[in-house]
Amino acid sequence: MSSMTINEVAAPRMKAADRRELILEAATAVFGAKTYVGTTTDEVARAAGVSQPYVVRLFGTKEKLFVAVIERAYARLIDEFRRALPGDREGRAKRMGTAYTDLLAERGMLPVIANSTALGGEPVIGRVARAGFSDIWRFIRDDAGFSLDEARVFIATGMLINTIVGLRLTGDYGNEVSATEVLDACFPDAVEHVRSLVPEAGEPW
Amino acid sequence: MSSMTINEVAAPRMKAADRRELILEAATAVFGAKTYVGTTTDEVARAAGVSQPYVVRLFGTKEKLFVAVIERAYARLIDEFRRALPGDREGRAKRMGTAYTDLLAERGMLPVIANSTALGGEPVIGRVARAGFSDIWRFIRDDAGFSLDEARVFIATGMLINTIVGLRLTGDYGNEVSATEVLDACFPDAVEHVRSLVPEAGEPW
DNA sequence: CTCTCAAGTAATCATTCGATAACAACCAAG
DNA sequence: CTTGGTTGTTATCGAATGATTACTTGAGAG
């Protein structure tokens, strides 16, 4: 039952640093689809095309692996936000919003960020998640120059997007009133784009 | 190691319906604190002061227990929203927002709702979570009479509150800039009230 | 009383999962 | 060409967990 979702062919003998990055990518997809506790290191390993013990050895523990995944995700997000800064000031929030939804194309990225916000009670992971959120907030305030209210609304909208994606409301668009209304209200001119990037309620992602 | 968190003394020989409700209350607290997958039926049982097999027998499976917990939480939320309807129309959104944060006092209620929004990919739970969200949205639109934009902003704000609570940002208030700013921006005149209701990063809740 | 059904427990099982250990194959430097 | 570090695997373990089974206890009806 070796699915090999990310890499069709296992690539033997890779430099450890590259292998780490490849595993992080696979782990982001799996953690994003099945939550932190719900994900097994074996699933991550098979998605990355390596053995389960090797994943553990490269990262130490499942917890440390997840911490690396979160840190990478928040860094990636800030990266994408930064690329959306240049241009007229009025369109900045919109460009950054688009940058956020475009991250949907990187499998698991948004779900991982969303899930991390529910783990503040975990001693280790919680600290990292708060730091990630704090980085985002400071970027929005200092680098993007958002006012307090702009920042609040922007982040709140992002959290609503997380909810829409996490609930897979996209699958009900057109069939169910609430889902249709929420999606229309959130993505006035990008509903189909978003819909094409979110998987159906059936598991894979 | 029997902690008996909810009920200090086990109440033997209760009518099954009452026992169910008592277990649901305990389960909400535990699921809210440790997520769905991260919670064991034994923890729920001990929090409710009964044996683990009894919990399983009363609800069939852990999944069905969680479904019952979610449905109860959404129903409870709508209940509280409904009680906030009467009064001047301008203050309605504010009253309903207060009703939401007041639910923090019922242990696990908000975290359970927040966590459910990340499980849309689960075949059974996902369906229930979407139905819960849909109920809330329709209540806000039809019963509360919110416009599309009002509804979107209101729900988005709720999701941001979920994030703040889930991340335990309340613990950083006063010590860290981002947490302080977010909390001030979200709860202009209720920061201390919210802070008093959210546990520290250390686990319990 | 006692009989019966509901309420509840102790014991136990089969899986699953993260982690560890021991070993194998590859490759570059001397 | 051989030696040593790096990259990886197979085998396996101990603990945890959801579920099942069989048993016990209490209370209310007749």
Handedness of CA A117, B69, B65, A204 (dihedral sign): negative
When pLDDT is cut at 50, 70 and 90, the band that residue B126 belongs to is very high
Q: What pLDDT score was predicted for residue A12?
A: 76
Rounded to an integer, what distance in angstroms lies between the CA atom of residue B167 and that of residue A127? 9
What pLDDT does B92 receive? 98
Which nucleotide C1' is nearest B16 CA?
C7
Two structure tokens written together for B139? 């209540």
Choose between A121 and A13: higher pLDDT: A121
Let me know if A113 is exposed, middle or buried by CB neighbors in 10 A (0-12, 13-18, 19+). buried
Q: How far apart are alpha carbons A92 and A86 in whole angstroms?
A: 8
Q: Do the Cβ atoms of B162 and A159 come within 8 Å?
A: yes
Q: State which residues form the domain around A62.
A: 16-197
CATH (domain of B105) = 1.10.357.10
Q: Which of B141, B157, B178 sits opposite A133 (nearest CB)?
A: B178
Average pLDDT over residues B160-181: 98
- Closest amino acid to nucleotide C26 (CA–C1'): A13
For testing the chain A interface, which of B30, B31, B34, B35 should be mutated: the one with the most A CBs within 10 Å? B35
Helix A16-34, helix A109-116: angle, nearest 10: 70
Q: Residue holding tokens 């190691």?
A: B1
Residue A124: count of CB within 10 angstroms of its CB: 13
Average pLDDT over residues A54-83: 98
Helices (H) and strands (E) in chain A, counts: 10, 0
Q: Which residue has the higher pLDDT, A170 or B4?
A: A170
Q: What is the pLDDT of residues A87-146, one digit of tens each?
A: 999 999 999 999 999 999 999 999 999 999 999 999 999 999 999 999 999 999 999 999
Question: Could you tell me if residue B114 is inside a domain?
Answer: yes
Residue B3 confidence (pLDDT): 34
In a domain, A5, yes or no: no
CB A153 within 8 A of CB A137: no
Angle among Cα B108, B112, B116 to the nearest 5 degrees reads: 175
Beta-carbon separation of A148 and B186 below 8 A: no
Mean of per-residue pLDDT scores for chain B: 93
CB A63 within 8 A of CB B151: no
Decide if A114 contacts A55 (C-beta within 8 A). no
B202 located within any domain = no
Confidence band, pLDDT 50/70/90 cuts, at residue B111: very high
pLDDT tens column, A34-50: 999 999 999 999 999 99
Q: What is the pLDDT of residue A196?
A: 93
Specify if B9 maps to a domain.
no
Q: Is residue B204 over pLDDT 70?
A: no
Q: Residue B165: its chain A contacts at CB < 8 A?
A: 120
Quick check: is B147 in a domain? yes
Chosen from B66, B178, B184 to mutate, greatest number of chain A CBs within 10 A: B178
Tokens 């409710």 sit on residue: B48
Q: Is the CB of B50 under 7 A from strand C?
A: yes
Share of chain B above pLDDT 90, in %: 90
Residue A203, domain member (yes or no): no
pLDDT the model gives residue B205: 75
Quick one: pLDDT at residue A10? 52
Q: How many angstroms separate the CA of residue A186 from the nearest CA in chain B?
A: 7
Q: What is the pLDDT of residues B56-89, one digit of tens each?
A: 999 999 999 999 999 999 999 999 999 999 999 9
Contacts of A92 by beta carbon, 8 Å cutoff, 6+ apart: A84, A85, A144
pLDDT score for B13: 84
* Least reliable range by pLDDT among A149-153, A187-191, B10-14: B10-14
Minimum CA–C1' distance nucleotide for A19? D7
Measured CA B61 to C1' C13 distance, in angstroms: 17
What is the C-alpha separation between A49 and A75, in angstroms, rounded?
25
A37/B37 Cβ within 8 A: yes
Q: Which of the 8 DSSP states describes residue B105?
A: G
Q: Search chain A and give the residue with CA nearest B160.
A: A156
**Are B157 and A156 a contacting pair at CB < 8 A?**
yes
What span, in angstroms and rounded, lies between the C-alpha atoms of B74 and B157? 17
Whether residue A121 and residue B157 make contact (CB cut-off 8 A), yes or no, is no
Sign of dihedral through CA atoms A40, A45, A51, A55? negative
**What pLDDT, on a 0 to 100 scale, did the predictor assign at position B132?**
98
How many domains does the structure of chain A reveal? 1
Q: Give the pLDDT score at A97.
A: 97
Question: pLDDT band at A184, cuts 50/70/90?
Answer: very high
Write the pLDDT tens digit of every residue in B22-49. 999 999 999 999 999 999 999 999 999 9
- CA at B60, C1' at C6: how many angstroms apart? 17
